Amino acid sequence: MTSAFEAKSNAETDSFTGSVTFASDYVYRGISQSSSQAAYTGTAEYSHAITSNYNVFVGGFISNVDFSDGDLTNVEVSPSVGIEGQKSEFSWRILAYYDIYPGAPSRVHYNYYGFDTNFSRDFGLVQLSFEAGVDPNLFGNSGTGVYAGLDATIPLPNIPLAPNIVLHSGRQSIERNAFYQAPDYVDWALELNADIQSVHLALRYSDTDIPRPQCFGGSRVCGERVVVSLGWTF
């Protein structure tokens, strides 16, 4: 949940950021959360500086979802809280979140909580970001889930709109694969994005190594896809 523009409620200590995005699909860690259909997402975050280098924050994420489950739920809400810091070219972020699926009965165990960390270093020609996430009891009562991902962002400042190329690879492990209905897997992506003032444009190709017969009973949501998104930050 990041944005390129911050509206300051207090120039020294407080900031509020938000975004609204329309995308041709909602993809999380390589898997479509909207059954390959269009998604509308929103984020909001309030941040308070505790020192010149450290902030604490509370935020939230919301999106439509479709798990092809007979409409047990069609919304995901994810409140979060965390701390972040920056020193020179190095930045980090640690957060705790709780994914809630309103309307879903407790027997399906959709709701879950997790912890995520991100460490980034800007080398000028490329920015590297490492993500590590742990979910003590993943979606569907699937047990412990562990995710590790690496992103390389390459800025192209001499091209019109100054776009970025993003290369991504990650690995998701799942304690109880039968409950999750998919094996442990690797995902990867290639993205081209650009910002025009407060508007964010992105074109992203992604895929996983999950064979279709092992993807939630033969679903296509684990396969390759191209997602176009248009977002506005405030």
Across 152-174, average pLDDT: 97
pLDDT of residue 6 exceeding 60: no
Residues in Cβ contact with 234 at an 8 Å cutoff, skipping those fewer than 6 apart: 3, 5, 7, 17, 18, 19, 198
d(CA 51, CA 49): 6
- Assigned fold of 7-233: Porin (2.40.160)
pTM: 0.92
Q: What is the pLDDT of residues 66-87, one digit of tens each?
A: 999 999 999 999 999 999 999 9
pLDDT of residue 2 exceeding 90: no
Whether the Cβ atoms of residue 35 and residue 67 lie closer than 8 Å to each other: yes
Bridge partners, residue 80, by sequence: 59, 97
Given this model, what pLDDT does residue 57 score?
98
Q: What is the pLDDT of residues 34-47, one digit of tens each?
A: 999 999 999 999 99
Residue boundaries of the structural domains of the chain: 7-233
| Residue listed under structure tokens 């919304």 | 75
d(CA 112, CA 135): 8
